[in-house]
Structure 1
Amino acid sequence: MNNLRFPVGFSGNRPSQKSGRTFVEIEAARPMLEVAMRGMQTELLTEGQMLSLVCSAAAGADTMACELALEMGVPVNLILPKRRERFMKDFTAYGPQVWKRVEWLLEAVENNLHGSSVEVVPDSVNEPECYEWVNRLILARSRAFLVVWDGMDTGLPAGTGSLVRKVRAGDCPYVFLNTQCPDLIESRGLSRYS
């Protein structure tokens, strides 16, 4: 069977000391995310389609989602805000272990593991606009959305809250998983995956 890809956009919080955003809280959402992704993958396969994840590789939830997708055999369409050498600087505050996880992920995707691909925002796009570009590309290339976040919109134009606002305003199906309250799952059109 020739499976057509069904692109699911992903966004999630980067780690911080704020409630709902610590590394531990973000990683604790992994089982919920796995249930949602496996449910989608199974349903799509019965329809002759294949789940693919459209995501960036920021520290925290993005990295976790990409790792999980690759472990499940799901292709990842990675969108980076800048080239690897510049992107690496975004991780200095998190320590070398976090960058090593992302570096493994980048190498796997660059080597087309499970048919994965990587795209980089053009060098001519400066910060912070390069992050806004990532959100716009994820929105434009996805037919459904998964989000792991603390439910708090920071108002930043390139943040997870910005993407969530746009997804809610549209008509695509979604599942939003909350790191502060794991029982709080918001969904539209994908309730069978939450």
Structure 2
Amino acid sequence: MTELTVLIVIDMQKGMQDANRLANRLPPRNNPHAEDHIARLLTAWRAAGQPVVVVRHISRSPTSVFAPGQSGAEFQERFVPLAHEHVVEKNVPDAFINTGLERWLHVRGIRKLVLAGVSTNNSVESTARSAGNLGFAAAVVADATFAYAMTDFGGTPRSAEDVHLMALANLHGEYATVLTTDDVLRQLDRGLSASAAAR
């Protein structure tokens, strides 16, 4: 039997989409095709019958676009979970904190995780760090995540690509393995082929 690998899609909500449309809401981002890559992963996971977890941020701030009841808290249309897929609601960046995600994975014997979503240096990085620290084998999909430009602690402006690449560098080899969408889909195909051959 093929070992289960869960795809975890993080914070692909309408509020993030709306913020991207409003030039004054957020700084420039990188990876403009990240959503397309996430959709490819989601389609492949569903076709393979592998588990999917869809995470959304629910803010404690009533003025946030991610506050309960706000349209921004809803999933973007192409990332709406199916009825049988597990939904995790979090109110801090890390999807493991106060959500029951760790227990959900352990109960199902799932040790392998593939992470995609937003943003690379925030919710994706914090979730990947916890995954590694908790003993899961995590992969972060570099082209299925994205970040925003920001100013570093020394006052130097950093591009979205710089922020993205540094977050990935923080994770790779320490908490997770950084892969591309094509890498992950090839691994998924190999695993399914091996399972079929073993029957």
Whether the TM-score (by the shorter chain) exceeds 0.5 is no
Larger Rg over CA atoms: 2
- Structure (1 or 2) with the greater helix fraction: 1
State TM-score, norm by structure 1. 0.43
